[in-house]
Amino acid sequence: AQSVTQLDSHVSVSEGTPVLLRCNYSSSYSPSLFWYVQHPNKGLQLLLKYTSAATLVKGINGFEAEFKKSETSFHLTKPSAHMSDAAEYFCVVSDRMEYGNKLVFGAGTILRVKS
Amino acid sequence: EAQVTQNPRYLITVTGKKLTVTCSQNMNHEYMSWYRQDPGLGLRQIYYSMNVEVTDKGDVPEGYKVSRKEKRNFPLILESPSPNQTSLYFCASRKNTGASGANVLTFGAGSRLTVL
Protein backbone atom coordinates (compact mmCIF):
# COMPACT_ATOMS: atom_id res chain seq x y z
CA ALA A 1 0.00 0.00 0.00
CA GLN A 2 1.10 3.50 -0.70
CA SER A 3 1.66 6.05 2.03
CA VAL A 4 3.05 9.54 2.48
CA THR A 5 4.61 11.10 5.57
CA GLN A 6 5.18 14.81 5.76
CA LEU A 7 7.72 15.06 8.52
CA ASP A 8 6.82 18.54 9.75
CA SER A 9 3.31 19.81 10.39
CA HIS A 10 4.60 23.42 10.66
CA VAL A 11 7.71 25.12 9.28
CA SER A 12 8.66 28.71 10.02
CA VAL A 13 11.34 30.60 8.06
CA SER A 14 12.41 34.20 7.64
CA GLU A 15 11.89 35.96 4.35
CA GLY A 16 14.91 35.48 2.10
CA THR A 17 16.08 32.25 3.78
CA PRO A 18 15.84 28.73 2.28
CA VAL A 19 12.75 26.57 2.55
CA LEU A 20 12.81 22.80 3.10
CA LEU A 21 9.58 20.81 3.39
CA ARG A 22 10.17 17.11 3.90
CA CYS A 23 8.21 14.22 2.42
CA ASN A 24 8.85 10.49 2.64
CA TYR A 25 6.79 7.96 0.75
CA SER A 26 6.26 4.28 0.29
CA SER A 27 4.96 3.01 -3.02
CA SER A 28 5.34 0.57 -5.84
CA TYR A 29 8.44 0.77 -8.01
CA SER A 30 6.73 3.26 -10.36
CA PRO A 31 5.52 6.13 -8.23
CA SER A 32 4.38 9.51 -9.38
CA LEU A 33 4.91 12.23 -6.81
CA PHE A 34 3.32 15.64 -6.61
CA TRP A 35 3.51 18.74 -4.47
CA TYR A 36 0.40 20.89 -4.21
CA VAL A 37 0.07 24.27 -2.50
CA GLN A 38 -3.04 25.66 -0.84
CA HIS A 39 -3.19 29.35 -0.04
CA PRO A 40 -5.71 30.48 2.58
CA ASN A 41 -9.30 30.10 1.38
CA LYS A 42 -8.19 28.72 -1.97
CA GLY A 43 -8.19 25.38 -3.72
CA LEU A 44 -5.10 23.24 -4.28
CA GLN A 45 -2.70 24.22 -7.02
CA LEU A 46 -0.02 21.99 -8.53
CA LEU A 47 3.53 23.12 -7.74
CA LEU A 48 5.42 20.33 -9.47
CA LYS A 49 5.34 16.64 -10.28
CA TYR A 50 7.74 13.76 -10.77
CA THR A 51 6.76 10.96 -13.12
CA SER A 52 9.84 9.14 -14.35
CA ALA A 53 12.18 11.52 -16.10
CA ALA A 54 14.71 13.80 -14.37
CA THR A 55 14.96 13.23 -10.62
CA LEU A 56 15.31 16.96 -9.96
CA VAL A 57 11.99 18.57 -10.78
CA LYS A 58 11.48 22.30 -11.15
CA GLY A 59 8.12 23.80 -10.41
CA ILE A 60 6.43 27.16 -10.29
CA ASN A 61 7.51 30.12 -8.15
CA GLY A 62 11.10 28.90 -7.78
CA PHE A 63 10.28 25.64 -6.02
CA GLU A 64 11.99 22.37 -6.83
CA ALA A 65 12.03 18.83 -5.48
CA GLU A 66 14.39 15.92 -5.81
CA PHE A 67 13.23 12.33 -6.11
CA LYS A 68 15.58 10.08 -4.14
CA LYS A 69 14.61 6.46 -4.56
CA SER A 70 17.20 5.12 -2.13
CA GLU A 71 15.85 7.38 0.61
CA THR A 72 12.20 7.19 -0.52
CA SER A 73 12.06 10.97 -0.24
CA PHE A 74 10.69 13.84 -2.30
CA HIS A 75 11.60 16.97 -0.33
CA LEU A 76 10.46 20.38 -1.55
CA THR A 77 12.96 23.25 -1.52
CA LYS A 78 13.24 26.90 -2.44
CA PRO A 79 16.44 28.95 -2.13
CA SER A 80 14.81 32.11 -0.84
CA ALA A 81 11.40 32.36 0.82
CA HIS A 82 8.96 35.10 -0.08
CA MET A 83 6.06 36.31 2.03
CA SER A 84 3.68 35.03 -0.65
CA ASP A 85 4.94 31.46 -0.07
CA ALA A 86 3.06 31.29 3.23
CA ALA A 87 0.54 28.49 2.64
CA GLU A 88 -0.11 24.80 3.30
CA TYR A 89 1.77 22.27 1.19
CA PHE A 90 0.73 18.71 0.41
CA CYS A 91 2.86 15.85 -0.83
CA VAL A 92 0.94 13.27 -2.88
CA VAL A 93 1.91 9.85 -4.24
CA SER A 94 0.25 7.67 -6.86
CA ASP A 95 1.18 4.65 -8.91
CA ARG A 96 2.27 6.01 -12.29
CA MET A 97 1.05 3.05 -14.30
CA GLU A 98 -2.12 2.48 -12.38
CA TYR A 99 -5.34 2.87 -14.29
CA GLY A 100 -7.20 3.72 -11.19
CA ASN A 101 -7.58 5.73 -8.13
CA LYS A 102 -4.76 5.24 -5.73
CA LEU A 103 -3.75 8.78 -4.78
CA VAL A 104 -2.52 9.26 -1.24
CA PHE A 105 -2.17 12.69 0.37
CA GLY A 106 0.16 13.63 3.17
CA ALA A 107 -1.28 15.44 6.18
CA GLY A 108 0.14 18.77 5.02
CA THR A 109 2.85 21.20 6.14
CA ILE A 110 1.96 24.77 7.02
CA LEU A 111 4.70 27.17 5.97
CA ARG A 112 4.98 30.44 7.83
CA VAL A 113 7.24 33.18 6.46
CA LYS A 114 8.39 35.89 8.88
CA SER A 115 9.35 39.36 7.74
CA GLU B 1 -10.80 28.47 -19.00
CA ALA B 2 -10.27 24.88 -17.88
CA GLN B 3 -11.71 24.54 -14.42
CA VAL B 4 -13.62 22.60 -11.80
CA THR B 5 -16.58 24.54 -10.40
CA GLN B 6 -18.16 23.80 -7.04
CA ASN B 7 -21.31 25.27 -5.56
CA PRO B 8 -22.08 26.49 -3.02
CA ARG B 9 -18.77 27.83 -1.76
CA TYR B 10 -20.13 28.36 1.73
CA LEU B 11 -23.13 26.78 3.41
CA ILE B 12 -24.50 26.67 6.93
CA THR B 13 -27.24 24.13 7.49
CA VAL B 14 -28.90 22.20 10.30
CA THR B 15 -28.75 18.55 11.25
CA GLY B 16 -30.89 16.35 9.03
CA LYS B 17 -31.60 18.81 6.25
CA LYS B 18 -30.60 17.19 2.94
CA LEU B 19 -28.14 19.11 0.83
CA THR B 20 -26.25 18.72 -2.43
CA VAL B 21 -22.89 20.19 -3.36
CA THR B 22 -22.50 20.38 -7.11
CA CYS B 23 -19.28 19.84 -9.05
CA SER B 24 -18.79 20.43 -12.74
CA GLN B 25 -15.67 20.23 -14.93
CA ASN B 26 -15.17 21.45 -18.50
CA MET B 27 -12.05 19.43 -19.40
CA ASN B 28 -13.72 16.19 -20.52
CA HIS B 29 -11.99 14.34 -17.70
CA GLU B 30 -12.98 10.74 -17.05
CA TYR B 31 -12.01 10.66 -13.38
CA MET B 32 -13.66 12.76 -10.67
CA SER B 33 -13.33 12.61 -6.92
CA TRP B 34 -14.56 14.22 -3.70
CA TYR B 35 -12.33 14.93 -0.72
CA ARG B 36 -12.86 16.42 2.68
CA GLN B 37 -10.16 18.41 4.42
CA ASP B 38 -9.92 18.56 8.18
CA PRO B 39 -7.10 20.16 10.22
CA GLY B 40 -4.16 17.81 10.74
CA LEU B 41 -5.70 15.08 8.57
CA GLY B 42 -4.89 16.33 5.08
CA LEU B 43 -7.34 15.38 2.36
CA ARG B 44 -9.38 12.22 2.71
CA GLN B 45 -11.25 10.75 -0.20
CA ILE B 46 -15.01 10.36 0.10
CA TYR B 47 -16.06 8.92 -3.27
CA TYR B 48 -14.60 8.74 -6.72
CA SER B 49 -15.75 7.98 -10.24
CA MET B 50 -13.69 6.45 -13.01
CA ASN B 51 -16.23 7.40 -15.68
CA VAL B 52 -19.95 7.89 -16.32
CA GLU B 53 -22.11 5.56 -14.22
CA VAL B 54 -19.05 4.18 -12.42
CA THR B 55 -18.62 5.26 -8.80
CA ASP B 56 -16.87 3.77 -5.79
CA LYS B 57 -16.21 4.45 -2.15
CA GLY B 58 -13.11 6.18 -0.94
CA ASP B 59 -11.75 6.16 2.58
CA VAL B 60 -14.59 8.02 4.37
CA PRO B 61 -17.86 7.40 2.46
CA GLU B 62 -20.25 7.11 5.43
CA GLY B 63 -23.06 9.65 5.31
CA TYR B 64 -22.46 10.64 1.68
CA LYS B 65 -23.83 9.67 -1.72
CA VAL B 66 -22.74 10.54 -5.24
CA SER B 67 -23.93 10.04 -8.79
CA ARG B 68 -22.27 10.31 -12.20
CA LYS B 69 -24.97 10.53 -14.82
CA GLU B 70 -22.98 12.84 -17.08
CA LYS B 71 -19.25 13.09 -17.64
CA ARG B 72 -18.98 16.70 -16.54
CA ASN B 73 -20.99 16.54 -13.28
CA PHE B 74 -20.33 14.74 -10.01
CA PRO B 75 -22.63 15.97 -7.21
CA LEU B 76 -22.05 15.12 -3.55
CA ILE B 77 -25.22 14.44 -1.58
CA LEU B 78 -25.61 14.56 2.18
CA GLU B 79 -28.97 12.90 2.85
CA SER B 80 -29.05 13.68 6.57
CA PRO B 81 -26.12 15.90 7.51
CA SER B 82 -24.63 15.69 10.99
CA PRO B 83 -22.21 18.04 12.80
CA ASN B 84 -19.27 15.67 12.18
CA GLN B 85 -19.66 16.43 8.48
CA THR B 86 -18.68 20.03 9.08
CA SER B 87 -15.64 20.34 6.88
CA LEU B 88 -14.04 21.85 3.79
CA TYR B 89 -14.91 19.82 0.69
CA PHE B 90 -13.00 19.65 -2.58
CA CYS B 91 -13.96 18.20 -5.90
CA ALA B 92 -11.19 17.25 -8.33
CA SER B 93 -10.86 15.73 -11.78
CA ARG B 94 -8.17 14.32 -14.07
CA LYS B 95 -7.79 12.38 -17.29
CA ASN B 96 -7.77 8.64 -16.88
CA THR B 97 -5.97 7.65 -20.03
CA GLY B 98 -2.48 6.36 -20.56
CA ALA B 99 -0.32 6.27 -17.46
CA SER B 100 -3.15 7.83 -15.53
CA GLY B 101 -1.33 7.80 -12.22
CA ALA B 102 0.92 10.52 -13.60
CA ASN B 103 -1.94 12.79 -14.56
CA VAL B 104 -2.48 15.95 -12.58
CA LEU B 105 -5.60 16.51 -10.51
CA THR B 106 -7.40 19.79 -11.05
CA PHE B 107 -9.20 20.99 -7.94
CA GLY B 108 -12.23 23.13 -7.39
CA ALA B 109 -12.02 26.13 -5.05
CA GLY B 110 -13.66 24.25 -2.19
CA SER B 111 -16.99 24.29 -0.37
CA ARG B 112 -17.02 25.09 3.33
CA LEU B 113 -19.91 23.35 5.01
CA THR B 114 -21.08 23.91 8.57
CA VAL B 115 -23.72 21.62 10.07
CA LEU B 116 -25.32 22.93 13.27
Tens digits of residue pLDDT in B61-76: 999 999 999 999 999 9
Residue B102 binned pLDDT confidence (cut-offs 50, 70, 90): low
pLDDT for A97 = 57
Q: Is A66 on the interface with B (CB under 8 A)?
A: no
pLDDT at B19 over 60: yes
Q: Name the residue with higher pLDDT: B55 or A30.
A: B55
Distance from CA of B2 to the nearest CA of A (A): 13
pLDDT for B26 = 96
User: What is the C-alpha separation between A109 and A85, in angstroms, rounded?
Assistant: 12
Find, among A77, A81, A78, A79, the residue nearest to A115 by Cα: A81
Find, among B20, B70, B26, the residue nearest to B49 by Cα: B70
CA distance to A4, A50, A63, B12, B74, per residue, from B88 (Å) = 21, 27, 26, 12, 17
pLDDT at B100 over 60: no
Average pLDDT over residues A49-78: 92
Is residue B93 a contact partner of residue B31, using CB atoms and an 8 Å limit? Answer: yes
Residue type present at position A65: A
Distance from CA of A40 to the nearest CA of B (A): 11
Distance from CA of A6 to the nearest CA of B (A): 10
Residue B40 binned pLDDT confidence (cut-offs 50, 70, 90): confident
Residue A48 binned pLDDT confidence (cut-offs 50, 70, 90): very high
Q: Is B31 on the interface with A (CB under 8 A)?
A: yes
Q: Is A2 on the interface with B (CB under 8 A)?
A: no
Q: Is the peptide bond before B8 cis (omega within 30 degrees of 0)?
A: yes
Q: Is B11 on the interface with A (CB under 8 A)?
A: no
Residue B22 binned pLDDT confidence (cut-offs 50, 70, 90): very high
